């Protein structure tokens, strides 16, 4: 029986071998070698930071790393090495940009680094060049110069500019003046300057101001825009107008005035600075021009609300006809031409009466 089984088994093995089928019934251990590529993350390069004097924002730029998926920026204070997250970035809040603005930086000297991020890998850049942040800007006030009259008919008109810190590059081109056709001459140094305005075309308000960043302190910070309490002066070169004065008296007989008080008034006007006073003059006679060459002063008044009244008791030299003129002065000192004359006749001599004759007897 055994012999028969072995014979059958041998026949099966030969048949399977001949058919190209092989069975494995044993296992064995072995050894071998393999290789894999190593990944890299390059750091950002060309980190640049710029600090503009007077502005507490520092723009930072860098050249990208080709492998990075994001970046975060670090500000380092030079004095003690203190670090701070910059531009609102951090390891958990990277940016994909290659520039940012670091706002609200306090005064001091700093440098910046940029860190590239790729999954859990990081690569930090070389530091930027040092930058100095200076948030302090010089302020400046502009006002009328001491002793400058306002209004005035005289040029130049002077203003004073005072900076909170010395500036060395302040010139006339830094001054804004109205009217724009006027010319400004700047003199002074350090913190204090005089601004003299000339070339004014006529009567108008003259104002001056200084725009922001017109002048710079030693650190390079530009000034803030000027402030003022009084940076305007009225330039008035236009004379007022005086019409013929009005004369009134307590006792009148037509155009004849007795020896009582005479009140003179005027309706003088001025287009710019306003009438400051009116003076009255008389000339003897009823004809001819009444001017400073031949007039006599009666008086003057500053009471504008009452028509600039002047009262005089028998101001005239003698009985007879007179011409009265008014001359107005405005607040800038301009004089009007003499007004047309108001005619006035004075008679202070009472008539004489003879004793009546009755039946040939007086």
Q: Are 117 and 70 in contact (CB under 8 A)?
A: yes
- Would you state the torsion angle of the CA atoms of residues 163, 167, 168, 172, taken in this order, to the nearest 10 degrees? -40
Tell me which of 357 and 75 has the higher pLDDT.
75
DSSP 217: -
Residue-wise pLDDT tens digits, 190-221? 999 999 999 999 999 999 999 999 999 998 99
| Number of other CB atoms surrounding residue 225 within 10 Å | 13
Q: Report the C-alpha gap between 94 and 85 in whole angstroms.
A: 11
pLDDT of residue 145: 98
Residues 6+ apart with CB under 8 A from 289: none
Residue-wise pLDDT tens digits, 27-37? 445 454 544 44
Rounded to whole angstroms, what are the CA distances from 293 to 37, 281, 296? 114, 11, 9
| Number of other CB atoms surrounding residue 52 within 10 Å | 15
pLDDT of residue 253: 65
| Number of other CB atoms surrounding residue 184 within 10 Å | 20
Q: Is the pLDDT of residue 245 over 60?
A: yes
pLDDT of residue 345: 84
Instruction: Give residue 314's pLDDT band: very low, low, confident or very high (50, 70, 90).
Output: low
- Can you read off the two tokens belonging to residue 2? 């055994």
Q: Report the C-alpha gap between 22 and 26 in whole angstroms.
A: 12
- Would you state the torsion angle of the CA atoms of residues 11, 14, 20, 21, taken in this order, to the nearest 10 degrees? 60
Residue-wise pLDDT tens digits, 231-240? 999 999 999 9
pLDDT of residue 262: 85
Q: Which residue has the tokens 């006027």?
A: 182
Q: Are 51 and 131 in contact (CB under 8 A)?
A: yes
pLDDT of residue 275: 97
The reported pTM is: 0.70
pLDDT of residue 325: 97
Q: Is the pLDDT of residue 51 over 50?
A: yes
């Amino acid at each position: 029986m055994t012999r028969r089984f072995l014979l059958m088994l041998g026949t099966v093995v030969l048949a399977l071998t001949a058919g190209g089928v092989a069975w494995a019934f044993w296992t064995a251990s072995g050894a071998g070698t393999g290789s894999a590529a190593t990944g890299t993350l390059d750091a950002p390069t060309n980190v640049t930071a710029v600090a503009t004097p007077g502005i507490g924002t520092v723009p930072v730029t860098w050249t990208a790393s080709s492998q990075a998926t994001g970046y975060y920026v670090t500000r380092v204070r030079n004095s003690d090495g203190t670090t701070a997250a910059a531009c609102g970035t951090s390891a958990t809040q990277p940016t994909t940009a290659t520039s940012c603005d670091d706002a609200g930086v306090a005064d001091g000297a700093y440098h910046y680094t940029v860190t590239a991020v790729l999954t859990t890998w990081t690569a930090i850049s070389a530091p930027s060049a040092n930058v100095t942040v200076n948030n302090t800007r010089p302020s400046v006030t502009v006002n009328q110069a001491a002793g400058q009259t306002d209004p005035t008919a005289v040029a130049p008109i002077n203003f004073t500019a005072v900076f909170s810190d010395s500036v060395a590059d302040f010139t006339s081109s830094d001054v804004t003046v109205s009217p724009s056709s006027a010319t400004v001459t700047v003199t002074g140094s350090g913190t204090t300057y005089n601004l003299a305005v000339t070339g004014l075309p006529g009567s108008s308000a003259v104002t001056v101001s200084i725009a922001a960043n017109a002048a710079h302190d030693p650190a390079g910070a530009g000034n803030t825009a000027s402030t003022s309490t009084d940076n305007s002066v009225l330039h008035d070169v236009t004379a007022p107008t005086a019409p013929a004065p009005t004369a009134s008296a307590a006792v009148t007989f037509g155009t004849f005035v007795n020896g009582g008080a005479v009140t003179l008034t005027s309706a003088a006007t001025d287009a710019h600075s306003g009438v400051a006073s009116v003076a009255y003059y008389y000339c003897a006679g009823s004809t001819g021009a009444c001017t400073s060459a031949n007039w006599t002063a009666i008086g003057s008044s500053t009471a504008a609300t009452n028509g600039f009244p002047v009262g005089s008791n028998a101001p005239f030299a003698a009985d007879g006809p007179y011409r009265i003129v008014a001359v107005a002065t405005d607040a800038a000192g301009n004089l009007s031409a003499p007004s047309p004359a108001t005619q006035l006749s004075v008679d202070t001599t009472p008539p004489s009466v003879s004793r009546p004759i009755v039946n040939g007897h007086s």
